Amino acid sequence: MGLFDIFKKAPSVEDFDTTPSKDIRIDVTEDVMNINGKHFTLPCHKDMLKDVFGEYTLSMDNIGCTGIRYIYLWHELGILAYSKNDECVNCISIQFYPNEKKYAPNATKNIFGGSVTVDGADWLTLFVDEKQPKLDGMTLPFKLKHHGNFSLLVSVSDKPKGRIRSLGINKRTELNLGD
């Protein structure tokens, strides 16, 4: 990186490739997550995902109080996975909108171009009438839905307003978010 590279414009949506190098099809059912016809539950071993997605890039980062320390990135696919112990993947995240920060160790270089369904229907139908939750009067930047053994967490951007950044798929967890 040169001395004046810090003045370069941050990447924009047009700088990202939305064409996947593989056709990835993810379907979440009540019991399992099917990725290109292979069945998964969470947590799962990182090598199971490697068999489907190919080689990953490892990034190590502490993500708040979550205990997450290892992030596996499939840059060309727009997919990343999180682990606490460098073996078991706790969450898979599908990136629909680029992270425009210059330094983002937990963001893929491209966005997801495959398909995601829940019981065969477009996953967005789960969230059509869902309002963003509030905590202590503050609107939280995500929407959460439970489906069988899974929790689906949509990260929503405030700039541009309401843009869906990513979909996280975890083992079902119960969160009390108040009203």
Asked if residue 5 belongs to a domain, the reply is no
Instruction: Please give the DSSP secondary-structure letter assigned to residue 22.
Output: S
pLDDT in tens, the chain (179 residues): 443 433 334 344 444 454 544 589 999 999 999 999 999 999 999 999 999 999 999 877 666 667 778 889 998 899 999 998 888 999 999 998 876 665 555 678 888 999 999 999 998 888 776 666 555 555 556 778 889 999 998 887 766 666 788 899 999 876 554 43
Quote the Cα angle for 136-125-176, to 5°. Answer: 25
Quote the Cα angle for 156-153-84, to 5°. Answer: 115
Asked if residue 17 belongs to a domain, the reply is no
**3-class SS of residue 174:** coil
Domain that holds residue 122: 24-171
Asked if residue 147 belongs to a domain, the reply is yes
Asked if residue 12 belongs to a domain, the reply is no
Give CA–CA dist 15/98, Å, rounded. Answer: 9
- Per-residue pLDDT at 54: 94
What is the greatest pairwise CA distance in the chain? Answer: 52
Query: pTM of the prediction?
Result: 0.76
Tokens of 159: 């700039």
In the chain, how many domains are there?
1
Asked if residue 73 belongs to a domain, the reply is yes
Q: Say if residues 27 and 33 touch (Cβ distance below 8 Å).
A: yes
Asked if residue 6 belongs to a domain, the reply is no
